Amino acid sequence: MKNPILGSHVGMSKSNKHGEYLIGSFNESLSYGANTFMIFSGPPQNTMRTDLDKLHIKEMQELMKNNNLDIKNLIVHAPYLINISNPVNQNTWDFGVDFLTKEILRCEGMGINILVLHPGARLKGDYQKALDALVKGLDAVAAHQKNTIIALETMSGKGSEVGINLKDFAYVLSKVKEPDKVAVCLDTCHMHDAGYNLSDWDAVKQEIKQTVGKEKIRCFHLNDSQNPISAHKDRHENIGYGHIGFDTLLKILWDEEYIDVPKVLETPYHNDKPPYKEEIYNLLNKQHILKIKD
C-alpha cells in the first residue's frame, strides 16, 4: 500500500531558521519527515506581500525534484481577510475579489496548484444570498486561474460562517461557470464541530460522493478538535488529544480512496514548539508512540 501524502503548515519568511522564504519552507517540512507542506503566501491578516522574485521559487522547485517530491501536492492557504460570501457590503466583496485575484497570481507564479479558501461569512445577510455572492466571486476570479484550483474549506459554523455543510459546496459547484476550477478542502476539526460524525467515516464518505463527489476533494486539513461534536467552535487540538481521536484520524489518513490526496496538519504548538515531527511519525507508524503533551 502507498504511503499517504502528509505534511503540515510551515513558515514562509525571510527569518525562517531553515532558510529564506520557500527554501526555508521546504527544509522545515523535510525536518518533520513530511512529503508536502502548506504555506501562506504572506501574512494571513494583512495585505503585505514579498515580491515573487525574492521567494527562491526555482530553488524550492529544484529541492522538490531532487527529493522526489511532487509540487502538485503543495498548498497555499488564502489570507483570512478575504470574504467573497459577504452579501451586505459591496466594498468588502470587491476587496475580496481583488485580493483573491492577487493570491491566485502568486500561486501561478510559484507553481503551486492548490489554493485553500475559507468561503467567508454572511454577517447580517441572508445565508442563500451569501452562497450566491460566493458563486459570483469565484466566477469573477476564474479567468486568472490557469493551473490553480480554489479548494473551498469546510467550516465549523462559528458565527455567521457559510460552507458548513457539504450540500453548500454541492450548490456552489453546480452554479459556478467553471466548476473545474473549484474544489473542496475537508478540515476534520471543522467538520466535527459542524456536526459530522467522523468516527463513522464510511457514512461521511458516502455523503461526500452523493454531494460534491470524491474527485472534488483536493486536500485535507487533518486536525483533532478541543470540542465535542456540533460545538461550532473551531478550536484545533493535537492529533489524539481531542474529541475526534487518533484512531479516526488514522483511518482517514490511510483510506485507500484518498491516499493520493494531500493532507496537512494545523495542530497547535505545545510549549512554543511545533508538534508536527512527532505527529507525522505517529501517523505514519500507525501508533500513538511519541507524546506531544505530558
In the chain, the N- to C-terminal Cα span, in Å, equals 33
**9 in a known ligand binding site:** no
Q: How far apart are CA 134 and CA 215, in angstroms?
A: 21
Q: Based on the number of CB atoms within 10 Å of its own CB, is 181 exposed (0-12), middle (13-18) or buried (19 or more)?
A: buried
**18 in a known ligand binding site:** no
**153 in a known ligand binding site:** yes
**256 in a known ligand binding site:** no
**118 in a known ligand binding site:** yes
Total length of the chain: 294
Q: Give the alpha-carbon dihedral of 103, 111, 17, 282, to 10 degrees.
A: 100
**190 in a known ligand binding site:** yes
| Amino acid letter for position 195 | G
**266 in a known ligand binding site:** yes
Q: Are 9 and 275 in contact (CB under 8 A)?
A: no
| Amino acid letter for position 245 | G
Q: Which residues are annotated as a binding site?
A: 77, 118, 153, 187, 190, 221, 234, 236, 266
Q: Which residues are annotated as a binding site for Zn(2+)?
A: 77, 118, 153, 187, 190, 221, 234, 236, 266
